[in-house]
Structure formats: C-alpha cells, structure tokens
C-alpha cells in the first residue's frame, strides 16, 4: 500500500516548509470529538496528515478518536512529537530521544478500542516500530539534530509535574524521559495497526537534580519554541527519505490484530463492531468509511 505519514504534535508543527496542496478537514469519529481538524498536505509528493493536540490537557485528549480519525484518513505510519522532561543527565534540554519503551502511569484514560462485546489483546512488548524509527533517525542525522536512539518514557497522568520523590523513583526504574501525552496513544496506534514511533523532545530536567530549580512553565515554553523549529526541519527531512510504499514493520505493528481478537463472531456486540469498522477493517473484512 502507498505510504501516508501521520504526524501528531503541538500546533507549531503544522507551519511546515515545503507543504503542497494543503487543506484542513474535520474528520468525524465514532469515538467522540477529535482534538482538531486534520491537515491534509504533501511534502515532496509524500501524503502527510497532521493532527494538532494543542489546547487540551493531556488527560482531556480523546486518544481513541484521534487515532481512529487518523486511520480513517489512510495513515499508515504515525510519528508523535511530544515535549518531555529528562531523567538522565546526558539528555539535556533541546535533545531529541527516539524512545523504544514506555511505562504507563496514567490512570484515568480509556486505554483500548476493545472491551465488553469484543475482546482483543495486542502485543506491546515492542511498543514502537523500529522500521519507522529508523527512518526518523535518518532524518535526524540528515538535519544534524542532537538525538539518542532508544530510551524509556514514563507517562504520568498530570496535569501537575511530578514530585521530587516520584522523579527519583522513575530514575531508579531506569526511565530516561518523563511526559504526559504518549499513553494510551501508543497502545491505540498498535490496536489500529499503525506503525508508530515517538520523538521525545527534552525541555527540562524535571525536578530530580539537587541544587537546581524545579521545572517551571516559562522555561519549558522557551525550549519548546526552539524544539518545534527543529522538529519542523526533521519532518521535512523525514518526508525526503521515507519510502513511498509503506515499509512492513519489523515487529508487526501493521499486523497487530492478526490472532489478537478472542471473542467469537457470534458473541461480538454489533454496536461495538460498527464503531470498530476502521480499526478492524483489514482483519475482519469490513469496509473503511469514505471521508471524501
């Protein structure tokens, strides 16, 4: 299938150089309100779909609607850009981290498209696509952006920053960065059979460092502005190197539902299955909705 690159991030990211045929569309979802309209565009002939998640607290984002809407627009590969705090002295503000593991400390967010009426269990052993991350790394190297490949991202509920005791605890667990936005986004992308990766953009050192001021919003916003400028360049570079035919994911992100649905056909809830039409369409043979 042809590649369609999805981007999720802050509002500043959509001001990208090299955009062609750009238009915004409202995409309806059976899972509720999508965070914003979706930008349809092309960069170097590669179809791009960008969804801002600005203006909402992380706990208020409707992650299911967002992923469902992106899937409905034909997205095959999804790159999530998110601000984060560093739990590692080596990862200074301004550094980008291609994380490869998550620890989910959120509590109040719907985590799955599935449930009573249709149960499914997808593997999250390798929660990001190494294939997609490899292309993002090529773009980072091409644009000479300081980055690290690999790391564990602990996702907290927020909206408050963590306490010093929590920050030290997460460091003791071996976490490298901390943020509020990438779960359940990564889980839902896997259920939707999207190749997914996260670019964690460091803005601060959280609050674990002794004799240093705790994180504050003003300093975070200052670094975020510079990070956004670098992210824009990375997206343009990614479009230049990304295959025009969707590359199969080496860990099976794009085949995650094969063998994952455990509820027999005769016991599946019809209403839930109708909501799942886009998510399960490839494995159950249901038609995707036409969004033209």
Predicted confidence at residue 212, as pLDDT, reads: 67
Task: Determine which one of 68, 77, 104, 204 is catalytic.
Answer: 204
pLDDT in tens, the chain (292 residues): 999 999 999 867 878 888 999 999 999 999 999 999 999 999 999 999 999 987 788 999 999 999 999 999 999 999 999 999 999 999 999 999 999 999 999 999 999 999 999 999 999 999 999 999 999 999 999 999 999 999 999 999 999 999 999 999 999 999 999 999 999 999 999 999 999 999 999 999 999 998 766 667 777 778 888 999 999 999 999 999 999 999 999 999 999 999 999 999 999 999 999 999 999 999 997 433 333 3
Cα(15)–Cα(140) distance, integer angstroms: 19
* pLDDT given for residue 290 in this prediction: 36
Q: Is 2 a catalytic residue?
A: no
Give residue 53's pLDDT: 86
Cα–Cα dist 138/144, whole Å: 10
List C-alpha distances in Å: 178 to 7, 142, 148.
Answer: 20, 26, 15
Whether 277 sits among the annotated catalytic residues: the reply is no
Distances (CA, A) of 103 to 33, 130, 198, 236: 26, 18, 14, 30
Which has the closest alpha carbon to 37: 4, 83, 73? 73
Binding-site residues for phosphate, in ranges, read 11, 53-54, 82-83, 181
Q: How far apart are CA 288 and CA 290, in angstroms?
A: 6
Taking the C-alpha atoms of residue 216 and residue 284, their distance in angstroms, rounded to an integer, is: 48
Three-class secondary structure of residue 245 per DSSP: strand
| Other Cβ atoms within 10 Å of 175 Cβ, number | 22
Binding site as annotated, residues: 11, 53-54, 82-83, 180-181, 204-206
Rounded to whole angstroms, the Cα distance separating 103 from 180 reads 11
* Per-domain residue ranges of the chain: 79-284
Q: Pairing mode, if any, of strands 147-149 and 77-86?
A: unpaired
pLDDT at residue 281, as a whole number: 92
DSSP letters for 34-81: -SS-EEEEEETTEEEEEEE-TTS-GGG--HHHHHHHHHHTT--EEEEE
Q: Buried b / exposed e across 133-168, counting CB within 10 Å, b at 16+?
A: bebbbebbeebebebbbebbbbbbbeeebbeeebbe
Asked whether the beta carbons of 93 and 222 are under 8 A apart, the reply is no
Query: How far apart, in whole angstroms, are the C-alpha atoms of residue 132 and residue 101?
Result: 14
Read off the pTM.
0.94
Q: What pLDDT was estimated at residue 214?
A: 65
Report the pLDDT value the prediction gives residue 286, as an integer from 0 to 100: 42
**Which homologous superfamily is 79-284 in?**
Nucleoside phosphorylase domain (3.40.50.1580)
Which pair of tokens denotes residue 67?
């992923």
Q: Please give the annotated binding residues for substrate, written as ranges.
A: 180, 204-206
Amino acid 219: pLDDT: 77
| Contact residues for 102 (Cβ-Cβ < 8 A; gap 6+) | 127, 152, 153, 154, 155, 182, 183, 186
At residue 13, the pLDDT reads 82
pLDDT value, residue 30: 96
Catalytic residue among 77, 100, 104, 206: 206
The runs of H, that is alpha helices, within the chain are 63-72, 130-142, 164-172, 185-191, 217-241, 270-275, 277-284
Cα gap 134→137, rounded to integer Å:
5
Q: Please check whether residue 230 is in contact with residue 9, taking contact to mean a CB–CB distance below 8 angstroms.
A: no
């Amino acid at each position: 299938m042809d590649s369609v690159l999805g981007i999720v991030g802050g509002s500043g990211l959509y001001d990208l150089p090299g955009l062609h045929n750009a238009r915004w569309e409202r995409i309806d979802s059976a899972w509720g309100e999508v965070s914003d309209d979706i930008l349809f565009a092309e960069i170097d002939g590669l179809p791009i779909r960008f969804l801002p998640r600005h203006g909402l607290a992380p706990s208020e984002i409707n992650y299911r609607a967002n992923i469902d809407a992106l899937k409905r627009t034909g997205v095959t590969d999804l790159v999530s850009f998110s601000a984060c705090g560093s739990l590692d002295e080596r990862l200074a503000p301004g550094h980008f981290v291609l994380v490869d593991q998550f620890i989910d400390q959120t509590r109040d967010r719907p985590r799955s498209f599935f449930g009573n009426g249709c149960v499914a269990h997808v593997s999250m052993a390798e929660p990001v696509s190494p294939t997609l991350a490899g292309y993002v790394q090529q773009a980072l190297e091409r644009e000479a952006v300081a980055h690290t490949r690999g790391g564990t991202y602990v996702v907290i509920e927020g909206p408050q920053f963590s306490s010093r005791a929590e920050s030290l605890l997460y460091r003791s667990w071996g976490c490298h960065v901390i943020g509020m936005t990438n779960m359940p986004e990564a889980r839902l992308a896997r259920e939707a059979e999207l190749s997914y990766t996260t670019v964690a953009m460091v803005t601060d050192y959280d609050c674990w460092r002794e004799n240093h001021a705790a994180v504050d919003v003003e300093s975070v916003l200052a670094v975020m502005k510079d990070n956004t400028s670098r992210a824009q360049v990375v997206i343009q570079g990614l479009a230049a190197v990304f295959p025009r035919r969707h590359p199969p994911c080496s860990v099976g992100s794009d085949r995650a539902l094969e063998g994952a649905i455990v509820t027999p056909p005769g016991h599946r809830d019809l209403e839930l299955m109708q909501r799942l039409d886009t998510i399960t369409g490839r494995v159950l043979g249901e038609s995707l909705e036409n969004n033209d």
